[in-house]
Amino acid sequence: MDYKLLDGKAVAAQMKKEMADEVAQIKAAGGKTPHLAAILVGHDGGSETYVASKVRTCEEIGFKSSLIRYEDDVTEEELLRKVDELNNDADVDGFIVQLPLPRHISEQKVIEAIDYRKDVDGFHPINVGRMSIGLPCFVSATPAGILELLKRYEIETRGKHCVVLGRSNIVGKPMATLMMQKSYPGDCTVTVCHSRSTNLKEMCQKADIIIAALGVPEFVTADMVKEGAVIVDVGTTRVPNANTKSGFKLTGDVKFDEVAPKCAFITPVPGGVGPMTIISLMRNTLLAGKKEIYK
């Protein structure tokens, strides 16, 4: 089968241009420049890269951005004070606390301290709850990015069997919720498989759409995939590799070379879901700046 790439990099570039044009118009009309703040704790390599990329993309679109850094011995109390300060800062339209946090800090406590109207990550229980019943809300960036990618490639989802691999709060669970929603993209029959599933392979073989978010490099192999399937690979494991400048290779959850020839559509890693995640955070920031979801 001749497969088509779901080119997240190209779609994200297109969306970036659309948003930059809109921000320029807002500014020309004397409106407020959207402002995203990010809190980064410690020096985790992945988190550093993601946050740097978020800040850079803000600049490219014309948003204001603020990066607030702490060492990993910051107390939970101090972090919660900063969250409160950002909640009350009228210039900040939205903010994120980059995860993971050090073990002595409760991620859930921090997430719940964020004003849901500024929670552009969509992690607050109010946003998660509103999403699950189909109300306007901030949808977390990775699932929102995947929906946008499916939409821009006009992938048929109605009545299809979608298998979601993984049940994390930030990808697997919201993805399953959105794919079963009465909407487009959506209207799927959804099966969620995870590390305790006993029939994962059989489920995948029946899937029209597989969204792989396990974080296990090259887990999905050709024998698990139906001919003509649509494959979305959310994996971004940094696998050590002596041949690259960085010393690692970003590796997806799908064994691309053997799976791609069986697919109708497939996302590459890198250049698939990753760029869509960042651009979706930017979209949420723009919505926050325009007070489009919450007044």
Axis crossing angle, helix 273-289 with helix 141-152, rounded to the nearest 10? 110
Q: In whole angstroms, how close is the CB of 83 to ligand GUN at the nearest point? A: 12
Beta-sheet pairing, 237-240 with 248-251: antiparallel
CA-based Rg of the chain, rounded to a whole angstrom?
19
Q: Which of 11, 141, 188, 276 binds ligand GUN (CB under 6 A)?
A: 141
Contact 179, 230 (CB under 8 A): no
Q: Which of 119, 121, 208, 253 binds ligand GUN (CB under 6 A)?
A: 121
Q: In whole angstroms, how close is the CB of 52 to ligand GUN at the nearest point? A: 13
Q: Exactly one of 7, 93, 119, 121 is catalytic; which is it? A: 121
> Where are the alpha helices (H) located in the chain, listed in sequence order?
8-28, 45-61, 76-87, 107-113, 125-132, 141-152, 172-180, 200-206, 256-259, 273-289
Contact 92, 114 (CB under 8 A): no
Q: In whole angstroms, how close is the CB of 165 to ligand GUN at the nearest point? A: 17
Q: In whole angstroms, how close is the CB of 189 to ligand GUN at the nearest point? A: 27
148 is a contact residue toward ligand GUN (CB under 6 A): no
Q: How far apart are CA 266 and CA 262, in angstroms?
A: 10
User: What track of x and - describes contact with ligand GUN for positions 153 through 192 (by CB under 6 A)?
Assistant: -----------------x----------------------
250 is a contact residue toward ligand GUN (CB under 6 A): no
Nearer to ligand GUN, 170 or 232 (CB): 170
Contact 10, 276 (CB under 8 A): no
Q: Kindly report the number of other CB atoms within 10 A of residue 221's CB atom.
A: 13
Nearer to ligand GUN, 96 or 231 (CB): 96
Token reading at 213: 């978010």
96 is a contact residue toward ligand GUN (CB under 6 A): yes
Q: Which of 7, 34, 40, 98 binds ligand GUN (CB under 6 A)?
A: 98
7 is a contact residue toward ligand GUN (CB under 6 A): no
Nearer to ligand GUN, 12 or 96 (CB): 96
121 part of the active site: yes
209 is a contact residue toward ligand GUN (CB under 6 A): no
Nearer to ligand GUN, 119 or 218 (CB): 119
Q: Is residue 42 classed exposed, middle or buried when 0-12, 13-18 and 19+ CB atoms within 10 A define those classes? A: middle
Q: Exactly one of 7, 16, 98, 119 is catalytic; which is it? A: 98
98 part of the active site: yes
Q: Kindly report the number of other CB atoms within 10 A of residue 225's CB atom.
A: 23
Collapsing DSSP states into helix, strand and coil, what is residue 131?
A: helix
12 is a contact residue toward ligand GUN (CB under 6 A): no
Contact 143, 171 (CB under 8 A): yes
222 is a contact residue toward ligand GUN (CB under 6 A): no
- Residues known to be catalytic: 54, 98, 121
Interface positions with ligand GUN (CB under 6 A) = 96-99, 121, 141, 170
